[in-house]
Amino acid sequence: MNNPTPALEHIPVVPSRYAQCLLRFMEIRGISRSALLEGSGIAANELDICNGHINMVQALSLLNRASTFLDDELAPVQMGQSLNLLDHGLAGFVLLNHRSTIKLANMITRYLNVCLPFMSLSLIHDDQTLTVQLTDRWPLGKLRPFVAKIYIGCIHRLCRKHSRDIFVSLDFPSRLSSRTWQSLMEHSTFSFGASQCQVSMTLGAAPLGICDHDMALQLAKIRTRDQLHNDVIRDIPSMVRKVVTDFPGPDCTFERVASQLKMTPRSLRRQLRMHNTTFHHIRSEVRRIYATRYLTDTRLSLEQIAVALGYSGADSFSKAYSAWTGKAPSSIRRSKARPSAGAPAGGIADL
């Protein structure tokens, strides 16, 4: 690893959307934007600039502040896991290459090497196994394990549904047991104090992209998030809305949301009451937007939509949707124009 020159440290190279993602992640855990930005040299309005960038000094300042506030060994992994395709700017790559596992993996690796230049990612693969290795690019010092865990979380998020087995090797120790790590990263085996930080996966039958069904869900989710304008968290209802937007399905319970926000259910209920709203109202609003998006933008069946939104079946979903909108789901779908004649059924062209 070559030590960077002082000039390189001040070149804006890290997309500011990653700083926004970090701020959102920390705000959910009760850490304010101002506390994180203190001493970073970043003005709050700088991060609102479309396609803006921050330099390495600023980025490392934010990460150092975050690591100081987070007394949780798994928190940086969760930070990495919280980044979806839209956060990375990878939705287009997946759309174009989701049927070619190796091509997609190569593009993602190259992309992250440019956008997240703290560490270098190298791809090694054969027909059965794909390995992403992490090597040092920037002198991170004591911050290195924190940053490496963010990368590990990112990689796990992108591959967790498309591999039979995932093997995670970390070249530093952990105070936590492998079972604790596995509770956060399912289908994974861990090795600590290894010679190399890397993630290896045995490729399953599905490619490392997403199938048409998952693609439809992902695109609808991206459009729904844009519609919900959830990029800035200002109050408790907005924070609840953010968590529900990330997890609108069967796991979206009041107790889970309270736990995600590091609040007791009683405290959260009281805070929502002060804003004249309830968890049920917020969850129903988010699910209504998701449901309408699924009905108008995809060909998912009512049963598939019901499962995605946490309902026991198409009947219970239809009843809820009718209560929200006064219209049956089938009438919403019938009112939309059919795809053009040239679009093949069941594929990406339908989206």
pLDDT computed for residue 287 by the predictor: 94
pLDDT computed for residue 213 by the predictor: 54
pLDDT computed for residue 342 by the predictor: 38
CB–CB of 186/160 below 8 Å? yes
pLDDT digits (tens, 9 = 90+) for 263-321: 888 889 988 988 889 999 999 999 999 999 889 888 889 999 999 999 999 999 999 99
What are the extents of the domains in the chain?
1-71, 80-208, 212-335
Name the pLDDT band for 340 (thresholds 50, 70, 90): very low
What amino acid is encoded at 193 in this protein? G
**Which single residue is written with the structure tokens 């609808």?**
220
pLDDT computed for residue 127 by the predictor: 77
Q: Compute the average pLDDT of residues 186-205.
A: 86
Q: Can you tell me the distance from the alpha carbon of 343 to that of 329, in angstroms, rounded to the nearest whole number?
A: 24
pLDDT computed for residue 90 by the predictor: 62
- Mean predicted lDDT score pLDDT of the chain: 80
> 212-335 architecture in CATH?
Orthogonal Bundle (1.10)
Residue 336 CB partners (closer than 8 Å, separation 6+)? 295, 296
Q: Compute the average pLDDT of residues 149-172.
A: 84
Q: Can you tell me the distance from the alpha carbon of 280 to that of 253, in angstroms, rounded to the nearest whole number?
A: 9
Query: What predicted TM-score, i.e. pTM, was given to this entire model?
Result: 0.60
Q: pLDDT: is 184 or 225 the higher one?
A: 184
Show the tokens assigned to 309: 């939104």
pLDDT digits (tens, 9 = 90+) for 222-262: 666 655 544 444 578 888 988 898 889 888 999 989 888 87
Q: How would you write the chain as a 3-class SS string?
A: CCCCCHHHHCCEEEEHHHHHHHHHHHHHCCCCHHHHHCCCCCCHHHHHCCCCEEEHHHHHHHHHHHHHHCCCCCHHHHHHHCCCHHHHCCHHHHHHHCCCHHHHHHHHHHHHHHHCCCEEEEEEECCCEEEEEEEECCCCHHHHHHHHHHHHHHHHHHHCCCEEEEEEEECCCCCCCHHHHHHHCCCEEEEECCCCEEEEEEECCCCCCCCHHHHHHHHHHHHHHHHHCCCCCCCHHHHHHHHHHHCCCCCCCHHHHHHHCCCCHHHHHHHHHHCCCCHHHHHHHHHHHHHHHHHHHCCCCHHHHHHHCCCCCHHHHHHHHHHHHCCCHHHHHHHCCCCCCCCCCCCHHHC
**Which single residue is written with the structure tokens 């009041």?**
254
pLDDT computed for residue 104 by the predictor: 74
Give me the residues paired with residue 197 across strands: 134
pLDDT computed for residue 337 by the predictor: 45
